[in-house]
Structure 1
């Protein structure tokens, strides 16, 4: 027998409470519950198998509404039972409780997890649910007008649309005259009245536990993009000043476009069911953007390479696409990395921990890391090795006999030092003995 996994559960005997495994398998990808097998997959047999075979179909159907395929097996002179369960398109409960299977663990769904599960099973997402109490008077018309200007390149006809409800219907944000939640967070005047967590928290951190200052960015999502970037630029991040002729140029320590793309990704892919905000933590040497999100059939490693575009909030993503904020090809995460590398920064790192997706920008530049490593290697040289190395750096064509004269050493000893430098990877000889030269492998 195999070990317990996403699709397999072993029990030595039947207890009526085990009907929760039926709910869990049906609410996930299906699976098989075995009775008469221990946790190690060893067949131990089941007592009164015929009686149990007769009881289980009706019992499970009464408790869950599911009629599973139940079979009696025999091996090594012992009988055991398999209860095969298919995934259900409808949520399956036991006494009003819903269970789910994740790996070899069965757990009860509660709170936001339960809300998300039920909505998904009913074909609804958080953003597509209608908010009964929200009215047209609560739409921010200035944001609507700004969106129309932004969207004119991708949807030219939108700019001339003067009827706001018609525009909302075209964006699939209105159904039967009622606004979906996506309309509220995208265009609402007072978004946080309905969705308090739809905001962004920015903090300047001296350490992981010590916060120097905090800002909370509210408003609708379209407003939040500009407001957040303005606060980061003017209050939290340093800029490099340079001049091109008489023109003053100011560059953030992290590429502006990379930060903007990362912020847009967080807004589009976050889970609005949960109570946490998007968090931006600014340290002296790094910047971390974190949001509670679900990876849609991809791994965190896929984010650093080409991958399909699967936005979790499709309505919000569609409005952002029409406004020209994002592309629809799943290249945003790669572009963030490319823009950082183009500025000489180390590639940002994606991590997924405890349901949160984190993106960490490093202030360290690639050449700084290289110089640091070079300095470490130079520091490994002895005093006499360093003297020989310095002379070779000054004159790569210098002969070992000349080195001996300059350092008042014997040629035999200099040849020994040169060999040590070669063994440490500090230098290499290029060309013939007479016409060649020394290639310095790491500069000071």
Structure 2
């Protein structure tokens, strides 16, 4: 025998009843084979009671697990040994009321949320596909459904004709009604006015932190249908929590955020569709002056366990596929895993770093660092927030006008009057003077030209 022991093959010198757990684990995983009467290298050493075990083992398996396996008597010379072939079973198998699973080279008991998912999987369901008998279509929030319709038509995911149907038909077309006519959890999360009535923690928590992780300055919570939570959260973060710093390109005023809004939106949507809602923990967004953390108690597919892998081309396997389909049909997320490419493209617009993902048993933590341009503006704004050179009390505007009788560059003006912050100088002096017409550009058709100068 030359087969190598691996996750689907085990070599055992003698039979022990504890191997029934291994058989249970094989049945719940991908099937496997156990050889009785071999050493750890697969060499046949034989067993004396092979014929007795040939009868007893199948009976033990049937009595304790209710499944049938193939037990074969094999020979090598005069040595007898057994081969036990276990098929993968479509339904979850228990042994003495416990469930086991073969993972790699180990056998482990599955419990809790993992057991619930495994049970659902054997039924061809996911957590978000479980029906809710006491929820009806009339209980859903009309504004949330209308928001979905508007977005779906605007993005071309559905036609006006497809959304101009009764709500029950729309829900059925979105596969949100099961075979018995019940709405499923995904419909409740997306469209019910208060999903927390059914699932604790189905909201988003936002906090602004100061000098340390314990320095919580202020916080908010976003509740309601998930389809509404997205825009509300993005708007709240980018109006209340994230400070836009002002920069200029020529006379053009630019609001610079630390992280591109489109990238943030995609990360938030990923958190919503990959979250494990059975954990009862809200999505948490922690905002600092130069970074953002976005955490959700969820999982990514096993093959996507690092930042590098996530930003490579990959298939889309959302943790909550029914919920993800709602957001896809609304046009809010992309199919085929293109959401991460959109994040990359948005970060490139700011010439900023890609978000960093930490994926483990504690959930998914995403770190979004501020782009260099924002950090520079933040540094300038923080070091010289109120820098007003006054030239011994004289009118600075008048001094600049006198100095610019001959054309001068921005740097020449700043050097002459000891301005430290280019941003502050443009905001407080140059831009107002250009608007008032007391200063003019030498190249007005190219405001951002590196050769631009200003004269009075």
Residues 15 and 190 of structure 1: is their aligned pair in 2 closer, same or farther, counting only changes over 3 Å?
same
Matching of residue 314 in structure 1 with residue 315 in structure 2: no
* Offset of residue 108 of structure 1: 1.6
Residues 211 and 90 of structure 1: is their aligned pair in 2 closer, same or farther, counting only changes over 3 Å?
farther
Residue in structure 2 matching 1:275, options 269, 274, 280: 280
Residues 108 and 214 of structure 1: is their aligned pair in 2 closer, same or farther, counting only changes over 3 Å?
farther
* Offset of residue 115 of structure 1: 1.0
Matching of residue 195 in structure 1 with residue 195 in structure 2: no
Whole-Å separation in 2 of the counterparts to 1:19 and 1:210? 50
Counterpart residue number, 2:235: 230
Q: Which runs of 5+ in 1 are unaligned?
A: 370-444
* Offset of residue 12 of structure 1: 4.1
Whole-Å separation in 1 of the counterparts to 2:193 and 2:264? 26
Residues 33 and 184 of structure 1: is their aligned pair in 2 closer, same or farther, counting only changes over 3 Å?
same
CA RMSD of aligned residues (A): 3.0
Counterpart residue number, 2:406: none
> Any conservation in 2 of the 1:64–1:92 contact (CA below 8 Å)?
yes
Counterpart residue number, 2:169: 166
Q: Which one has more relative contact order, counting CA pairs under 8 Å at least 6 apart?
A: 2
Q: Deviations over 1:376-424 (max 9, x none)?
A: xxxxxxxxxxxxxxxxxxxxxxxxxxxxxxxxxxxxxxxxxxxxxxxxx
With 110-119 and 264-273 compared, the bigger mean Cα shift is at: 264-273
Residues 276 and 11 of structure 1: is their aligned pair in 2 closer, same or farther, counting only changes over 3 Å?
farther
Whole-Å separation in 2 of the counterparts to 1:7 and 1:206? 53
Residue in structure 2 matching 1:335, options 335, 338, 342: 342
Residues 37 and 158 of structure 1: is their aligned pair in 2 closer, same or farther, counting only changes over 3 Å?
farther
Counterpart residue number, 1:99: 100
* Offset of residue 245 of structure 1: 7.6
Counterpart residue number, 2:160: 157
Counterpart residue number, 1:295: 300
Q: Deviations over 1:33-84 (max 9, x none)?
A: 2334566767665442221122111221222222222234556976543322
Counterpart residue number, 1:415: none
Any residues of structure 2 matched to 1:85-124 within 5 Å, and which?
85-124=86-125
Q: Which runs of 5+ in 2 are unaligned?
A: 377-456
Whole-Å separation in 1 of the counterparts to 2:296 and 2:82? 45
Counterpart residue number, 1:361: 368
* Offset of residue 116 of structure 1: 0.8
Residues 258 and 63 of structure 1: is their aligned pair in 2 closer, same or farther, counting only changes over 3 Å?
same
Any residues of structure 2 matched to 1:183-222 within 5 Å, and which?
183-205=187-209, 210=214, 212=216, 213-222=218-227
Counterpart residue number, 1:434: none
Q: How many residues align?
A: 369
* Offset of residue 315 of structure 1: 2.2
> Any conservation in 2 of the 1:278–1:290 contact (CA below 8 Å)?
yes
Whole-Å separation in 2 of the counterparts to 1:355 and 1:49? 47
> Any conservation in 1 of the 2:27–2:93 contact (CA below 8 Å)?
yes
Whole-Å separation in 1 of the counterparts to 2:213 and 2:70? 54
Any residues of structure 2 matched to 1:123-138 within 5 Å, and which?
123-138=124-139
> Any conservation in 2 of the 1:191–1:219 contact (CA below 8 Å)?
yes
Counterpart residue number, 1:34: 35
> Any conservation in 1 of the 2:256–2:374 contact (CA below 8 Å)?
no
Question: What TM-score does the superposition give when structure 1 sets the normalisation length?
Answer: 0.74
With 73-82 and 176-185 compared, the bigger mean Cα shift is at: 73-82
Whole-Å separation in 2 of the counterparts to 1:186 and 1:306? 28
